[in-house]
Amino acid sequence: MADAESLKREAGIAACKYVKNGMKLGLGTGSTVKYTIIEIGRMVDEEGLEITGVPTSEATRVLAESVNIPLVEISQVESLDLTIDGADEFDGDFSLIKGGGGALTREKIVANLSKSMIVVADESKKVDVLGGFKLPIEADPLHSDSVIEEINGFCPGEVRIRASGQKNSSGNQPYITDNGGYIIDCEFGPSITNPTDLEKTISDINGVVEVGLFVGICDAVILASSSGVEILVNPDGRLN
């Protein structure tokens, strides 16, 4: 039986079967999709693959540049052929929680520009009901307190600003996204049975930039499990 990291690598590479010459690709963020990016870089260098990538985070930009993938900014494209990204959770309806790495806003912009989206993940991310992973929300720092107050009205668990791990004389400093926002992590528990409605409720709160619920976007999941790599295709998705 392969170890967990080897399976992640295998799943990340398997996603590259969907990558075709001439594509404009959204390049995601995460511990599994990094192997996709490394493999695409190999295909560019060794097989002459011609693609253009749009990174979803600064970390992804650095990795993609290190393996010689040509990149453009989000603002330079009107649409993308495919996005390959990770997820913190996905359910049987192919709804996702994303944002554990703090890049949810760029990730959603890129996903929504794409004709299709593939997620690479390990089996720990597959759940019956979303919410075991804290739901990330990006908020304007100037409105973060009021956003937390409103979400506390319907979130059953703790709602708090993500810390960066860095301290100064005032204590722990907030994590700052690539867009200059705060991440608010919300402990809903495995209770998000209607992610569409919850996403709208949170999005309507003044000061919310983006919600880490991705609904109706994911077309397939390439899943690394203890028994190997499996491709789960959304029957209602765009790859059929």
Identify whether residues 150 and 117 lie together within a single domain: no
pLDDT the model gives residue 7? 85
Q: pTM of the prediction?
A: 0.93
What tens digit of pLDDT does each residue of 83-96 get? 999 999 999 999 99
User: Is the pLDDT score of 170 beyond 90?
Assistant: no
pLDDT of residue 61: 96
**Together in a domain, 104 and 218:** yes
Residues 27 and 104 in one domain: yes
Q: What pLDDT score was predicted for residue 1?
A: 47
- HEC sequence for 19-72: CCCCCEEEECCCCCHHHHHHHHHHHHHHHCCCCEEEECCHHHHHHHHHCCCCEC
Structural domain includes residue 113: yes
Give residue 30's pLDDT band: very low, low, confident or very high (50, 70, 90).
confident
Domain count along the chain: 2
Q: Does one domain contain both 169 and 70?
A: no
CATH code assigned at 186? 3.30.70.260
Question: Measured between alpha carbons, how far is residue 92 from residues 131, 191, 236 in Å?
Answer: 13, 14, 12
Mean pLDDT of 11-27: 96
Domain that holds residue 67: 4-124+214-233
Q: 22 and 52 share a domain?
A: yes
Active-site position among 39, 89, 107, 199? 107
Residue 141: CB partners within 8 Å, gap ≥ 6?
Answer: 174, 180, 181, 182
Give residue 165's pLDDT band: very low, low, confident or very high (50, 70, 90).
confident
Residues 197, 225 within the same domain? no
Whether residues 157 and 175 fall in one domain: yes
Domain annotation covers residue 141: yes
107 is catalytic: yes
Q: With a cut of 90, say whether residue 5 has pLDDT above it.
A: no
Mean pLDDT computed over 98-122: 95
